Structure 1
């Protein structure tokens, strides 16, 4: 009987300390497996694409020269059979959805994630493929985030939903899954239809936030547009947040979400904490006149024109994931 080919895993990360940690622990955790390590995404692309014996690649999403998403796209084009796992220090939901939907990424883990957890997931997938088990649509990555996350199409048909969203739906009268698998928000937010289906002569907004309230119950909803490049269709990431558990978003989240500069994000964060503009300016270390100038730019980038609207928009956005 022929000897079974050992499982081979490639790790690609520009963090040498992390690669060294993997080297130390991999042999102990999976002594029958082999591993290859790369700190250069270009060398990794050439080596992995040329070696069909590599079963899976674990990629860092943030690398200089070529990002993990770009490397995943290249590897998917060259190796349709490759199992790809993404690691990121920034829990970027839009990148996660793109990675799963567009690039066929198997799992999306935040850094740091225990190596044992990653290897257990890979082992289950490799065994399933070797047993010719039909692959189901991967949704496990959504459960990594402490938010209710629902992916929908432009008809609000639910494509993916994490455990947190399901739990929130069970306890809320403001959001539910309809009989035809559609996400239903009650009452329907004003402007939702226009956001999902903007007029052809208007540039689609990348995100929109809503505050739903009825009979004393409240729900914050952030919807992010996620273009699908392969077929021209658009999906949406719906993030459901219980206002009672909200915290002001992290500065990096505000920068990523609204395109703010770091100074603008710092000022916005302080305003979201309920501080007056002059108090926020003092803590950020800018003059009151500079703060007023920043605020005009912040209003423009977030699509509001008053400070109370800004606070509602910010507090309806993604709480800190870092």
Structure 2
């Protein structure tokens, strides 16, 4: 109801005033100050506390006690995500207001998209001050005056900007609102960029988890051949220093002949990127002093676009596979995929790990005849006739990346 009421009031508001010209910067800011603030808005997604620097400047220029950016309003199913700047600094805020119950009491919502308004223009102030929301969330934070904007993002997203002053200060002026209005397009673009980057990062994390589950070590090198990042599987292999290790930030094989070949493959990959040639993939096996089976290493150049610059830009990916580390398929997913019983899953996973049927029976503390009965049932349900076929089936199933 609060949203509908606010929206109906908004329709009766006067038309938005024309934006100020470049020669009439709000609040008498210099061009350098305004340019710095806009720059901080675009840098905001990269900060540990998103947009902390920009909100600090807005708070300073407007004499506000709080500047809050609500990146995701609360809903019944999820908490709000909001960043606030106050006298004690900037932080990702977590409190009762983040819950849907608190958000649902807020009457200052449903603003016309991308337009800065004061709360006095939207609702009856006396009713607001006497309401539960004011007493629970506003008054304890020494807030009286509020201006804000609801920013609509392509794809259905929304964020909200709220700026406040205490009762001891003057209300926000039209010039203050004009200043915020000038910032909205930049903030909107910056939030949109953050959304895009977070989507890409979520995909990257998904693929990284899949590689971890498949027990494939991944090492990314820059144009100088230095390691810029690696996954947990690669870290474990490199820490063992058994066939391959890190020396001065670079990958090196244990034995000289193999190391020369590894460096050649890496150099070829880097040269391939520099010359914009088609992606190449080469491989080598590395002997291990421990006598364990050889490590499999694959070197692949990473295609770059015309804007790929900087010493830390990924140039080559090195994938490392240790034969003794096999993927561990999910017990529950294997059961669901093939209709196994719990006992059959336990046996199938032990066989996948390289145990013989007799060894698996001993591990499970069951009789050999019982293990054979489970195996016959497993063969019937999967359609395979040999243990090697069963192992291949399980390792190649989606359960291995669960």
TM-score between the two structures when normalised by the length of structure 2: 0.32
More helix by proportion, 1 or 2?
A: 2
TM-score between the two structures when normalised by the length of structure 1: 0.39
